[in-house]
Amino acid sequence: MACRSGPIAFGHPGTGGGPAGRSESFVWRFILHEMPLSHSRSHLLQQKAEAVFPGGVNSPVRAFRSVGGEPPFVARAEGAYLYDEDGNRYLDYFGSWGPMILGHAFPSAVEAIREAAGRSSSYGASTAAEQNLATLVQRCFPSVEKMRFVSSGTEACMSAIRVARGFTGRNFIIKFEGCYHGHSDALLVKAGSGIATLGIPGSAGVPAETVMHTLALPYNDLEAVKAAFEARPGEIACIILEPVVGNAGTIAPAPGYLEGLREITRKDGALLIIDEVMTGFRVTLGGAQRLYGIDPDLTTLGKIVGGGLPCGAFGGRAEIMNCLAPLGPVYQAGTLSGNPLAMAAGIATLEHLIRNEEAIYAQIDRTTQQIADGVAAIARERGVPLTTNRVGSMFTWFFTANPVYDYDTAAASDTVAFGRFHRAMLDRGVWLPASQFEAAFVSTAHTQQDVDFTLEAARSALA
Ligand SMILES: Cc1ncc(COP(=O)(O)O)c(C=O)c1O
């Protein structure tokens, strides 16, 4: 039976424990089995949304098509919890798809946004805040000598590709199957995220001529990359990759893989673009490039850099970035680039992360390990085939007994079983990312009680 997770006066994690005289497990049983969730307002809103938005959504994976059921409509969020329009509360494991590393409505970010908004939400002119955020970014990513702020990860990756092509004077680019770098035409080839979720090979509306220079290769396969460079010496502008894949579910790079890509690109004069939109400030404060000791030519950022507001950035070696207008011939621009609200939220978020780096990353790593491994152990007890991939506070439970190291092995998972698990967890007040091909995220707001609650929910869901 479906169940209700909030607004509960007792027992739910974060509300301060169970009612007097009753064990926590009694409370969980009560919460997990005996209080049906109502979704009547969400259902009504979904019907209205379908009249105005294709699929009822403004971004495809939100529609729950691959997991089934209707998505709850969110009314507000705080810390680790989302609250829907029907008053239900959910433990949030997708964190706005990555940005909310400090939890929702983090007080100093909220205050900074409020304060900035009072001085106007946009100027279209330079501000000191842009420099302040840039300085913080450089502290975390020393490889970024110069950068540009944009309004999304899509823009960051699209612009990085353009500047790589402009700098090298080459056309071909290499990306990897299952990696997602936003929805710009050239990068929508064998992409992850919604493209993988909906099982479409690419996107209609992208002319073949637009992607004829995009080479999509299997992830974690250095030989395929070597072969591509041997076939086109001096023609490949860049490799772009997710250093830890999140958009095919979580997949770590094999030992030596990133180093191999660095060596091959250097030898050929191609650029290495590390897309840290998801991993930046997430797997370490300095992203995956710090975790694996890789020095890219260009880096793309998004999500956390804007503290949950629309913001992205791309940057790297100064001689490459100096190709951008007005210094050079590569054009790139944006009305809302460096938006003051996004800068304020980004500064508040990064300042907190920098100040508390050691404690924060140790905490979210530990919490994520408990959750990821805890559910894996329950699945083992229940005989459910599950492969758990985790890097820091990103993780995925793949419904397969086999190792997952690239898109094909991820796609061999039982997505129907994932959908059932997703619905069962949602019914129990735990909101996982609505696709097998997305990473789950943990924030500093997730507590030990939340871990225990999640494991209890999984025990019941996997039954
Ligand atoms: C690795 C990566 N790159 C780029 C993007 C695109 O970012 P945005 O959705 O902000 O356009 C995403 C989005 O999920 C991503 O995960």
For the stretch 312-344, pLDDT in tens is 999 999 999 999 999 999 999 999 999 999 999
Q: What is the mean pLDDT of the chain?
A: 92
Reported as a single tens digit per residue, the pLDDT across 44-63 is: 999 999 999 999 999 999 99
- pTM to 2 decimal places: 0.92
Q: Which of 240, 257, 247, 75 is nearest to 161 (CA)?
A: 240
State yes or no: pLDDT of 177 exceeds 60.
yes
Cα separation, 274 vs 314, whole angstroms = 10
Q: Percentage of the chain with pLDDT > 90? A: 86
Could you tell me how far CA 440 lies from the centroid of its own chain?
A: 8
Which residues are known catalytic residues?
180, 275, 303
User: Which atom of ligand 1 is least distant from the CA of 303?
Assistant: 10
Cα separation, 332 vs 351, whole angstroms = 28
- Residue nearest atom 7 in ligand 1 by C-alpha distance: 153
Q: How far is the CA of 435 from the centre of ligand 1 (A)?
A: 15
State yes or no: pLDDT of 22 exceeds 90.
no
Q: Percentage of the chain with pLDDT > 70? A: 91
From 157, 242, 250, mutation site for ligand 1 pocket: most ligand atoms within 8 A of C-beta: 157
- Segment 350-379 shows an average pLDDT of 98
Residue 74: what pLDDT?
Answer: 98
Does domain 107-355 sit in CATH 3.40.50.880?
no
Q: How far is the CA of 159 from the centre of ligand 1 (A)?
A: 13
CA 26-27-30 angle, to 5 degrees, is 90
User: Torsion-angle region of residue 21: left (phi > 0), alpha (psi -120 to 50) or beta?
Assistant: left
- Residue nearest atom 16 in ligand 1 by C-alpha distance: 278
- Segment 3-18 shows an average pLDDT of 37
Q: Which of 136, 145, 148, 142 is nearest to 348 (CA)?
A: 136
User: Which atom of ligand 1 is least distant from the CA of 182?
Assistant: 6
User: Which atom of ligand 1 is least distant from the CA of 247?
Assistant: 16
Are 445 and 101 within 8 A, CB to CB?
no
Identity at 28, one-letter amino acid code: W
For residue 357 the two structure tokens come to: 């780096």
Q: How far is the CA of 152 from the centre of ligand 1 (A)?
A: 7
Class (C level, CATH) for 7-105+357-462: alpha beta
Q: How far is the CA of 394 from the centre of ligand 1 (A)?
A: 15
| Residue boundaries of the structural domains of the chain | 7-105+357-462, 107-355
Q: How far is the CA of 79 from the centre of ligand 1 (A)?
A: 23
Radius of gyration of the chain (CA): 22
- Segment 418-431 shows an average pLDDT of 97
- Segment 74-78 shows an average pLDDT of 98
Q: Taking CB atoms and a 6 Å cutoff, what residues make up the pocket around ligand 1?
A: 97, 152-154, 157, 180-182, 193, 242, 246-247, 275, 277-278, 302, 312
Cα separation, 157 vs 300, whole angstroms = 6
Reported as a single tens digit per residue, the pLDDT across 182-220 is: 999 999 888 877 767 766 667 888 888 889 999 999 999
User: Which atom of ligand 1 is least distant from the CA of 312?
Assistant: 10
